[in-house]
Structure 1
Amino acid sequence: MTTDDEPTTARSVGSSHSRGLPLWAETLVLLGSAVVLALVIKTLLLQAFYIPSVSMEPGLQEDDRILVEKWSGWFGGEPERGDVVVFEDPGGWLIAGEVSEPGNPVSSLLGRVGLLPTGGHLVKRVIGVPGDVIECCDSEGRITVNGVAIDEDAYVLEDKAAQCRGPMTGSCDWSAGPVPEGTVFVMGDNRVNSADSTVHMCLEGETECVPGDEFVPTQLITGRLWLRVWPFSAFGGLEGTDAFDDVPDRSDDAPEAS
């Protein structure tokens, strides 16, 4: 005899087995839920990447694994000077050896849902935002933003052979900007080995270039660097920088991006 007060068994309320769902179907449901959750996280919150080159040394080393956060852009938040950002290739920026896509179908699938790092992106530091004018270089070899020299000792890789902290092109006499609306000007921390905005500028006398290609559309920015997760010995975020604190507000007459 049973009564209404008897405790329920493991097969009563809420049990998938009581509904006739076999184990293999339960497994598929769980896997499907995990994939959907991973896609939601990748789309809205976080995405994994790895560093394919030495362009951001000393802060980020080749083969480091990082997480990029996306929530700072939910409400129209724009990149700020000094931010380290990951962005899609604007077109012709990735050089040979820097594209590192997963090498097999399983890795490719895991990469698409955000469970493995993927290639096809670049990581650089934002130097100029809309309205800014960037110039190279002052008498001490420092770049200037809106006329203010930037002390980058905290994050730029020291190269005693370099005459300035300008571009990979080797020129220490150039200017860029005003940065158009909807774009940013970016540079790698390893200034002599970084295919960044400076490489795509039209220097005086150059004809094999397209004016404006040095600026990265903000719509291509995936997000800001949040954490380095590998190697474990370097786990954590990069320290912020106050190098741009004295730069005056950007100009209100920044041109529209073409």
Structure 2
Amino acid sequence: MDTSERQPRKQGWRFVLLALVLAVAISGLVRSLWLDVYYIPSESMEPLLEEGDRILVSRVAFNSEPIRRGDVVVFDGRGSFAPLSSGQGPFVDAVSAASQWFGLTGSDTTYVKRVIGVAGDHIQCCDAAGNLTVNGQVLEEPYLYPGDEPSKQKFDVVVPQGRLWLMGDHRSRSADSRGLLGAPGGGMVPVDRVIGQPVRIVWPLDRFAEMPRSAQAETPPKNGQ
């Protein structure tokens, strides 16, 4: 084979490599600014989300409207749900980050939960009938996992400004704000830690479906409203 045959082949490989680099760069830009994909690693949001689901998350969903009760949110749990960590070393962190980026594994610091209380809400568990109350009114929760109680753990909290009270739909399998009452922040997650809103299940294909913004649950008014 002469050099004239090798030259077009070499140029072809360069073109493929350049196209691949550009595709990854564009994908990274889109995922950092508008849309991202996350892997669901647990049963905590069943029946809405199942372990192994991949969800498409809008990073701009809450730019025009505030987060409200009933919304499902993806958030960075470092400093609240997860301890701040320096990592496990450059190589392990890089492999883990790549696996999470491709939606193959979940993140140890990224969580998906439902907003039960926003700033100013007084949330109590539970009333005589075993229901959660928000601002003295029963919170209707049609999204709960069948057979689960609203909560076996009792609590009485007021959500401060800039924070959220978050719980999983599968209450008996969810580690959420309830388990952090004695920790710094009292289980409340800063609003600025919210990454975005899940908008669609994209994998597996038999579960491919749009996710509504909220569960259309009753949302009691805040005190004084």
- TM-score for both structures, normalised by structure 2: 0.80
Q: CA deviation at 1:57?
A: 1.1
Q: What is the CA-CA distance between 1:63 and the residue it aligns to?
A: 1.0
Looking at structure 2, the residues matched to 143 and 199 of structure 1 have their Cα atoms a distance apart, in angstroms, of 16
Match of 1:157 among 142, 145, 151: 145
By how many angstroms is 1:197 displaced?
A: 0.4
Asked if the contact 2:131/2:139 (under 8 Å) is kept, the reply is yes
- RMSD over aligned CA atoms reads 2.9
Query: When the two structures are aligned, how many residues end up with a matched partner?
Result: 208
Query: Deviations along 1:155-195, whole A, 9 cap, x unmatched?
Result: 10133xx6x412xxx334x2111x11111100000111211
Question: Are residue 238 (structure 1) and residue 218 (structure 2) matched?
Answer: no
Match in the other structure for 1:37: 26
Name whichever structure is richer in strand by fraction: 2
Residues 235 and 251 (structure 1), Cα distance of their counterparts in 2 relative to 1, 3 Å cut: farther
Counterpart check, 1:128 vs 2:128: no
Equivalent residues of 1:69, 1:226 under 8 A apart: yes
Paired residue for 1:181?
Answer: 161
Aligned to 1:229: 202
Q: What is the rounded CA distance, in whole Å, between the counterparts of 1:145 and 1:30 in structure 2?
A: 53
Q: Deviations over 1:51-95 (max 9, x none)?
A: 1111111111111111111122334x3321111111112336359
Q: State the AA in 1 paired with 2:57.
A: V
Residues 20-74 of structure 1 show CA distances to partners (whole Å, capped at 9, x for unaligned) of: x932332232122111211111111111111111111111111111111112233
- State the shift of 1:249 in Å: 4.2
CA contact (8 A) 2:80 2:188 kept: no
Q: Is the 8 A contact 1:130 1:182 kept in 2?
A: yes
For the structure 1 residues 234 and 250, does the alpha-carbon distance in structure 2 shift closer, same or farther, using more than 3 Å as the test?
farther
CA 1:238–1:141 in 2, change beyond 3 Å: closer, same or farther? Answer: farther
- Unpaired stretches in structure 2, ≥5 consecutive residues: 1-7, 84-91
Change in 2 beyond 3 A, CA 1:138/1:107 = closer
Gap runs ≥5 in structure 1: 1-16, 96-102, 202-208, 253-258
SS in 2 for 1:131: coil
- TM-score, normalising length: structure 1: 0.71
> Which of the pair is proportionally richer in helix?
2
1:82-161, aligned counterparts within 5 Å?
Answer: 82-91=70-79, 93=81, 108-109=97-98, 111-112=100-101, 118-120=106-108, 121-152=110-141, 154-159=142-147
Whether the 8 Å contact between 1:59 and 1:155 is mirrored in structure 2 is yes
Equivalent of 2:171 in 177, 191, 197: 191
Larger Rg: 1
Deviation at 1:111, TM superposition (A): 4.1
* Separation in structure 2 between the aligned mates of residue 65 and residue 150 of structure 1, nearest angstrom: 29
